[in-house]
Amino acid sequence: MTTRKKISTPHAPAAIGPYSQAIVAGGLVHCSGQIALHPEKGEVVGKDVTEQAERALENLKGVLAAAGSDFSKVVKCTVFLVKMSDFAAVNAVYGRYFTSDAPPARSTVAVAELPRGALVEIDCVALVG
């Protein structure tokens, strides 16, 4: 039986619902989606999608570190956008975090709305250790 370990860090916003920041199981960390919530203030930050994507990825970075992982070990991401026209702007920010010649697999999905009025949400699955 595989054990599950809850990941919680002050370097990312606390969960705003009945979920964990991440769960480690089977050698993988499954990170919940991150929006541009400031970890200490609990408010959405960033006046545009570029700034919001940066904050969301910094939040993911904190969760990954708490789980013993990092962006080089990410195997799959999902990006949720309120406007698909923001794809290029988010892609530019995303590319600064995933710099290897073998970036993770990724899906990008347009959605009607995100929590707290955010413009972008990003989740991921990564190897641990």
Looking at residue 2, its pLDDT comes to: 74
Residue 71 dihedral angles phi and psi, to the nearest 5° = -60, -25
| b (16+ CB within 10 A) / e for 68-82 | ebebebbeebebbbb
Give, in degrees to the nearest 5, the angle at Cα 86 between 82 and 92. Answer: 130
Assign residue 101 the CATH number of its domain. Answer: 3.30.1330.40
Tally of structural domains, the chain: 1
> What range does the domain containing 15 cover?
5-127
Q: Please, how many CA atoms are within 13 Å of residue 90, restricted to the half-sphere of its CB? A: 28
- Secondary element (H or E) of residue 109: strand 105-110
Residue 31 dihedral angles phi and psi, to the nearest 5° = -90, 135
Q: What is the pLDDT along the chain (129 residues), one digit of tens a residue?
A: 579 999 999 999 998 889 999 999 999 999 999 999 999 999 999 999 999 999 999 999 999 999 999 999 999 999 999 999 999 999 999 999 999 999 999 999 999 999 999 999 999 999 998
Other C-beta atoms within 10 Å of 9: how many? 17
